[in-house]
A and B are shown apart, each in its own frame.
Chain A
Amino acid sequence: MKFLGLLTVLITGFLLIQAERDFPDWGDVNSPASSYKLSQHYITQTFAETSVPNMVTAVLADYRGYDTMFETVVIFTAGIAIIGILRVFGSNIKPDHPEVVLTKKKPDLIVETTCRLLIPIIQLFALYVVAHGHHSPGGGFQGGVIFGASFILLALARDLQYAQQWVPENRILNLAGIGIFIYAGFGVASLLLGGNFLDYGVLTAIIPGDVKDAHSHSMLGVEIGVAFTVTAIMFSIYSSLSSNGHMKEGI
């Protein structure tokens, strides 16, 4: 069986290396991806149409907004699935691996003080990444992950219950839902104002500024929605994984 596996891996690797020869060179101007008209349009017209300098965010949140909305839904569904598999109600259920004994110690002074200094800075940076996502690298996904990681750090340094004072379990799924609601709300708002779904241009009726500003500001709103969902799901995945689904004591 091991030999068969090795053979499969070798044949697949050989085929992949053979196929790699047909790829265009890295950064080749004549490659299909670079010479196609749509890429030219994105590179030359993004700033004129949306006044967003970071064209990656413009493609993600505006031109391909429908895609990103369902990516957010995928993250939401993954979080729901993990909670559905791991969450255990009641306290008299024995853990599967009783040999794992996690000693509960008092939080270490150095670790605690360092985290108390670090966590506000991490959260501020996360908010900057979300709010500045259409001007510099970043956006809702990265900012949301960093914001969720700050709560995970809090749970690691102190206790899971301590961190859950700020993000309680029953509110965290509401928070995740609110994120998708904000994103889809921008789509529905543009539908109601007579445009296509997620066509931010028609939102000039409710967002101050011209069409370009409507695009730019809607992208910010959409990123905030993504950040809500990602933050909530990251922390809920961590809390259900680290507490064996009891949501009581973490690692």
Chain B
Amino acid sequence: MIWIFDMIILIFLILTAFISLRVKDLLSAAMIFGVYSLLMCLLWAGMGAVDVAFTEAAVGAGVSAVFLISTILRTSRRSSD
């Protein structure tokens, strides 16, 4: 049963990684990157690495998203790529 959850999380992980690379609006890219970190945290927790999951939730999904968003608000918002 657990592998179905793993599969769903993995599919969403690849989707969020792809979308955050492709999307033009940098603010949405930063948000989706935070979602990516949260899914990664769920995967770590599922594998039993609770300490790593904790770090991923605090650093990846929490603080680094704030850093990215505050940087985006201080620079121009749309990527030229």
- A residues near B (Cβ < 8 Å) are 26, 54, 56-57, 96-97, 99-100, 102, 129, 137-139, 141-142, 145-146, 148-149, 152, 156, 234, 237-238, 241-242, 244, 250-251
Tell me which residues from 20 to 69 in chain B have a Cβ below 8 Å from any Cβ of chain A.
Answer: 47, 50-51, 53-55, 58-59, 62-63, 66-67
The answer to whether the Cβ of B1 comes within 8 Å of any Cβ in the partner chain is: no
- Check B51 against A137 for contact (C-beta < 8 Å): yes
- Check B76 against A145 for contact (C-beta < 8 Å): no
- Check A97 against B70 for contact (C-beta < 8 Å): no
Name the interface size band of chain B. 10 to 19
Known contacts: A145-B62, A145-B63, A146-B58. The answer to whether A97 contacts B74 by CB under 8 A is yes
| Complex-state Cα separation, A64 to B22, whole angstroms | 40
Q: Which residue of B lies closest to A82 (CB)?
A: B67
- Check B55 against A242 for contact (C-beta < 8 Å): no
DSSP class of A's interface residues: helix, strand, loop or mixed?
Answer: helix
| Complex-state Cα separation, A156 to B70, whole angstroms | 10
| Residue contacts A-B, CB under 8 angstroms, 9 given | A54-B51, A97-B75, A137-B53, A137-B54, A141-B55, A142-B54, A142-B55, A142-B58, A238-B66
Chain B residues, CB < 8 A from A139: 51
Chain A residues, CB < 8 A from B50: 137
- Check B66 against A100 for contact (C-beta < 8 Å): no
B67-81 Cβ-contact flags toward A at 8 Å (1 or 0): 100110111100000
| Complex-state Cα separation, A57 to B75, whole angstroms | 39
- Check B58 against A100 for contact (C-beta < 8 Å): no
Chain B residues, CB < 8 A from A26: 47
Name which of A54, A142, A149, A152 has the most chain B CB atoms within 10 A of its CB: A142
- Check B75 against A238 for contact (C-beta < 8 Å): no
| Complex-state Cα separation, A102 to B67, whole angstroms | 17
- Check B76 against A242 for contact (C-beta < 8 Å): no
Report B66 CB to chain A, min CB distance, Å.
Answer: 6
Report A234 CB to chain B, min CB distance, Å.
Answer: 6
Name which of A26, A102, A241 has the most chain B CB atoms within 10 A of its CB: A241
